[in-house]
Chain A
Amino acid sequence: MKEPPAIIGVGRTRFGEHYELDPEDLIDEAGLMALDSAGIERKDLDACYISDYLLQVTNKIGLEEGFMSQILEMNIPIEKMRSFSSALMNACNAIEAGKYDVVLVGGMEKMTDRWSKIRDNLMLLVDHWSYYAGGTPESNHELLLREYIKEYNLRGDDQQKLMTTLAHISVKNHRNAVLNEYAHFRREIDVKRVFAARAEEQKMLGLYDFAPISDGATALILASPKKAKEYTDNLIYVVASSLATDFISYPSRTYRSGFLASRIAMERALKMADISLDNIKILEVYDQSTVLEMISLEDLGFVERGTAWIKLYKNFEDFKGYYDVDGRQVYVNTNGGLKADGNPLGATGGAQIFEVVKQLRGEAGQRQIKPDGDFLYGCVQEIEGFGTKVYVHILGREKGGK
C-alpha cells in the first residue's frame, strides 16, 4: 500500500466568544501552534489550504487567500475551502499527487461578530425553499428526530428513553469538555437540565441539544510521508479521506431518518484505509445536535440502524466513558464534541482532528483514553450543511491495511 500523507503538527485556539480578536488573529494563533508543534518554519510551507463558511457575510472578507498571504508574508499557493475537512482532503490530494510536500491546513470562523444575523446566515447551508417555507437551523434536526421516531415506531416509554439518551449525550459531551482546555463550555450539566431547557422552550430539542455558535481557529501541518519523517517519528497518517454528497433539499431525499452521505463516505473510507470498523477506537462525530451524534453512530456503521437509542440508553445506565455497542468499544467526542467544545464552522473539523491526533499520539493529558487492544486508528466525521456533504477521515499511527 502506498504510504499516505501524515499530520506532523496541530494547533488550535480556544473556542468560544472572542470579541476582542479578528479572524486573522485567530488563524495566526492556531497556525503558529501547528507550525510550532511540527517544528517547522513558515518558509518550509509549499502551500496552504484554509477553510471558513461565513467570513464573507460575517466579516466582509471575500478573498481569504490574500490575508493569509499577508499573515504568512509568503506568495505560496493558497486555496480557500468551506470546511476544514474539505481543506484537509484537498491538501491530501495535492500531496498524494506529488505536487507539494508540506502544507498548512487551517480553518477559522467568527460567528459572534454578527450575532443577530448568524442564524439567518446558517440557512445559506440548506436549500432556499426550506428557508422560504420558514425553516430554521434547528428545525431540520427536529424533523430528523421525528423521522427517526416514526421510522422505528418509538412511542411512549421508548420515546422517553430516546429523549433520555439524547440528554445523556449532551451531558457526556459537557463532561468531556471539562477536561478540554480549549472548549467553549467547560462545565458539567445534568440530564435534568437538558430536559428543563426543552420544557422551558416547549421544544423537542432544547438549548442543551444543540451545538453553540462559536469563534475559533484550528490548523495542522500535513506532509508527504517522506518529508514527514524528516521532522518527526510521531506522525499520524491520514489513511483515508473520503467525501459523499446528497441533495441540498432534505425533504426531497428518499432516506430521511439518517444521512445517506455519511454511510457512503464511511464505506469508502474503510475501503481506502483497508481496515475494519473494529480497528477504530476513537470517533469524532459532527454533533451539531444530540440527534446527530446518535444517528451518526448508526450511519457510520458502529451501531445497527434503529437501535442506537436503546443501546446507548443502556450504556448510559453505567457509563464507562466509551460506547460499548454491537461488540465494539468506541470513544466518541472525547473533546466534548461540537456541543461543548464548540462549533466555529470552518474551524470545527480541525478541532475534531486535533483531538484524534492528540489521542493517537498519547498527548491528550487528562483526557487520554486507553482503549482495550491496539489503539491505532481514529475516525473523524465532518458534515457540511444538513447531511449534504459528509467527509470521513481516518487517521492512524500506522498507514492502514489489515
Chain B
Amino acid sequence: MGSEPIERRVAYIGDRLKGSKCPFCGKEYFRTRKYCGNCGRKSLGKMEDIDFFYEKGVLETCTVVREPTNKFVKLGSYIYGIVSFHNGKVRVPGRLTDIIIRSDEPVNPENFEGREVVPRFRRRYSVDRSDIIPTISLAFTFADEYYPYQQYDITKPSKEYDVPGIVGYGVYISRFRIKEGAMERSVPFIDEDAITAAVEAGKLALIHSGVDHRLIGKVYVGSESNPYAVNPIASKVAQVLKLGEEEKAEGVQGVDAVDTEFACKAATSMFKDAMALVYYPRNPMDYVMVIGADNAQAAPRGEPGGELDFFVGYGGAAFIFGMRDVIAEVEGWYSCTSDTPDFWRRDLEPYPRHGGRFTGEPAYFKHIIKAGKKLMEKMNLKPSDIDYFVCHQPNPTFPARAAATLGFKPEQYLPGLQVSKFGNTYSGSSPIGLAAILDQAEPHKRIMIVSYGSGAGSDAYIFITTSQIKDKRERQKFTVKYQAENKFINYVDYATYRRFKEGL
C-alpha cells in the first residue's frame, strides 16, 4: 500500500526536480528550501525557485546495481550514481534508464562517469496494480545518445494570425524497437507508459514552439492505455510541465486539463476544440495543447486479440494550437461518427478485442474515406490540390489503400506513413504522421489528416503551412526522422518487448 500524501509530495518535487537558489550567495539546493544555509535569516522567504527538469547534468560517479531492492527488481541490472548540476552546485542520486545491462555483462564505471546526462520523467518503481503509480525524474539518459539535450527557450511571438493553427509540436518515440520482417515497432523501456510518453511529447512541443508554458490554457490528453481507469494523465502533464499560471501557495496550476477517449482518435478529435478555444472571441486562451499518447495494448499472440500484437507501437505526439507564430493554419474540418463496434476493450480487461475483417471495410475504410471525401467536397478541393495526406495507420496496408481510394498518390501519402517504423501508436498514430509531414513541408503546403477511432469515427482536417514553419524547424533536433533512423536505437527480442510493454 502506498501513501497518497507521500506520493503527492515526492512527485511534486521529484517529477520536476524542483529546488531553491539563494539570491545572495547563489547556493543551490535540490528540493525547495525557505532559507539558505550560508546566508541564514536574511534569505528567509527570499529563496528563488529553480528546477532541473530542462537542465543537463553530469554523471560524476556511478556503480552497477545487480541486486536491487524489492520494488526495483523488474529493472534488472542498472547504473546508479551521483549526478551533478550547475558545475557541482547541486548533486542528486540518479539511475540511468533506457539501458539494458545483462546480468553477466561487465560494467566499467569509467565508461559512464563524466558524461552529460538529461533527466527523464519515468515510473519510479513497481507497485501493486491497485496502487498509485509512483513517478520521478531522477532517471537519466546520456545527452549524446538517443535523446538529445535541448534547451527550452521561451520565445516572444512575432506574428499574429487571423485563423488558428499549429504553433508547435513534439513527437516522442522510445529508444527501443522490435523488428519483425520489414516492420519496426517502438517498444517502451520498462519504466515507460502512456503517462511518461504524454509528458515527453508535451515537453518536446514546448521546446519546439518556444511557447511560454504559463500561457497554455488547456491540455487534452487522448489515450486508450492510461494505466489508470480513473485518474487523468492530463493532470500529471499539467503539473510536470507547469502548464498555466502556477498558484504557488496551493501548488496548483491555473490550467484546464482533461483526458479524452475515443480509441485512436481521442487526440485528433480535440484539435478543433483547441482551435476553437484560442479563437473564442470574448476570452480566448493563448494556447491549447493536445496530446495523443499510447502504449498500444495487445494480447499476446495466440490469445484472443493477439493479432494486434504484430502491429502495436509506443509513443506520443503533442500539438500546441494558437493564433501567434502559427506554422500551419487550419483551413477546414469535418468529422463523422457511427455506432460501429469494431475494436473495444471492456473495463477491467487488460487487452482490447477486435472484429477481425469487420475492422476493415465497414469500419476503418468507410469512416476515413467518408471524412476525407466530404472535407474535400466542402472545401471544393481535389486530391491534386493537397500536397500531403496522412491517415490513421493500424498497419502498413490499410492507410495506403485508403489514400489510394481517396485519389492520393504515394508521393502525397508516403511522407506521413510511419507505421512501418513505429507500429500503431493508437492515439498517437495519425498525429505522428502529421508531425512527420510538418518536419519536412515547405511553407504554403496543404496537408490533410484523417484520423480513425474505433467505435467508430474519423476526424478530417486541412492545414496550410506558413512561412514560419521553417524558422521553427531548427528548434527541434528530435524529429520523427531522427527517431526513426537513430543509430542508438536498441532492438529487442519478442520476450523483452512483451516484458517492457507490461512495465514495472
Residues of A within 8 A of B (CB): 116-117, 119-120, 123, 127-136, 138-139, 142-143, 146-147, 150, 201-204, 249-252, 256
Contact = CB atoms under 8 A, between A and B. Distances in A.
Nearest to B61: A146
B69 interface: yes
Given A120-B70, A134-B78, A252-B30, A129 B138 contact: yes
B213 interface: no
25 contacts: A119-B70, A120-B69, A120-B70, A129-B14, A129-B93, A129-B138, A132-B14, A132-B134, A133-B138, A134-B75, A134-B125, A136-B65, A136-B67, A136-B80, A146-B109, A147-B61, A150-B61, A201-B66, A202-B103, A202-B105, A204-B109, A251-B83, A251-B93, A252-B90, A252-B92
Nearest to A155: B110
A192 B345 CA distance: 58
A129 B139 CA distance: 11
B399 interface: no
Contacts of A123: 69
Nearest to B139: A133
B112 to A, nearest CB: 10
A202 B90 CA distance: 30
B340 to A, nearest CB: 46
B299 interface: no
Interface string B215-238: 000000000000000000000000
Most-contacted residue by chain B among A139, A143, A256 (CB, 10 A): A139
Contacts of B106: 202
Complex A-B, nearest 4 residue pairs according to Cβ-Cβ distance, in ascending order: A142-B63, A134-B95, A133-B93, A133-B138
B403 interface: no
B281 to A, nearest CB: 47
Main secondary structure of the interface of A (DSSP, over half): helix
Nearest to B94: A133
A163 B72 CA distance: 28
A147 B88 CA distance: 14
Contacts of B138: 129, 132-133
A389 B93 CA distance: 20
Given A130-B93, A143-B61, A203 B136 contact: no
Contacts of B94: 133
Of listed B62, B80, B104, residue having the most chain A CB within 10 A:
B80
B50 interface: no
B414 to A, nearest CB: 43
A35 B67 CA distance: 42
B63 A146 contact: yes
A28 B138 CA distance: 45
B8 to A, nearest CB: 14
Given A134-B80, A136-B65, 13 more contacts: A116-B70, A117-B70, A129-B92, A131-B69, A132-B10, A133-B80, A134-B125, A139-B63, A139-B65, A143-B81, A146-B113, A249-B93, A252-B30
B373 interface: no
Contact of B107 (A127, A147, A202): A202
Contacts of B90: 252
Most buried by B among A117, A127, A142, A204: A142
A131 B91 CA distance: 15
Interface in B133-169: 134, 136, 138-139
B64 interface: yes
Interface in B32-53: none
Contacts of A147: 61
A129 B106 CA distance: 27
B63 A251 contact: no
Given A129-B138, A139-B80, A134 B68 contact: yes
Nearest to B138: A133
A215 B28 CA distance: 42
Nearest to B75: A134
B124 interface: yes
Contacts of B109: 146, 204
Contacts of A201: 66
A116 B106 CA distance: 26
B183 interface: no
Interface in B95-129: 95, 103-107, 109, 113, 124-125
Contacts of B489: none
Nearest to A137: B69
A320 B202 CA distance: 65
A143 B113 CA distance: 11
B90 to A, nearest CB: 8
A135 to B, nearest CB: 6
Contacts of B69: 119-120, 123, 131, 136
Contact of B93 (A119, A135, A203, A204): A135
A150 B14 CA distance: 29
B64 A143 contact: no
B213 to A, nearest CB: 25
A123 B125 CA distance: 15
Nearest to A119: B69
Contacts of A202: 64, 66, 103-107
A204 B63 contact: yes
Nearest to A201: B66
Nearest to B13: A129
A200 B66 CA distance: 11
B322 to A, nearest CB: 36
A210 to B, nearest CB: 11
Contacts of B93: 127, 129-130, 133-135, 249-251
Given A202-B64, A203-B66, A134 B82 contact: no
Contacts of A146: 61-63, 81, 109, 113
A117 B75 CA distance: 18
A353 B165 CA distance: 75
A256 B62 CA distance: 13
A256 B82 CA distance: 11
Given A202-B106, A202-B107, A135 B80 contact: yes
A252 B80 contact: no
Contacts of A117: 70
A129 B134 CA distance: 13
Nearest to A150: B61
Contacts of A128: 10
Given A120-B69, A146-B113, A251-B93, A132 B64 contact: no
A135 B92 CA distance: 12
A139 B94 CA distance: 12
Given A116-B70, A134-B68, A143 B63 contact: yes
A143 B91 CA distance: 13
B136 A132 contact: yes
A165 B351 CA distance: 56
A13 to B, nearest CB: 28
Most chain B beta-carbon neighbours within 10 Å: one of A117, A131, A143: A143
B136 A133 contact: yes
A256 B10 CA distance: 25
Nearest to B67: A136
A385 to B, nearest CB: 14
Contacts of A133: 80, 92-95, 136, 138-139
A256 B93 CA distance: 13
Nearest to A127: B93
A201 B136 CA distance: 28
Contacts of A143: 61-63, 80-82
Contacts of B105: 202
A120 B72 CA distance: 10
A116 B67 CA distance: 12
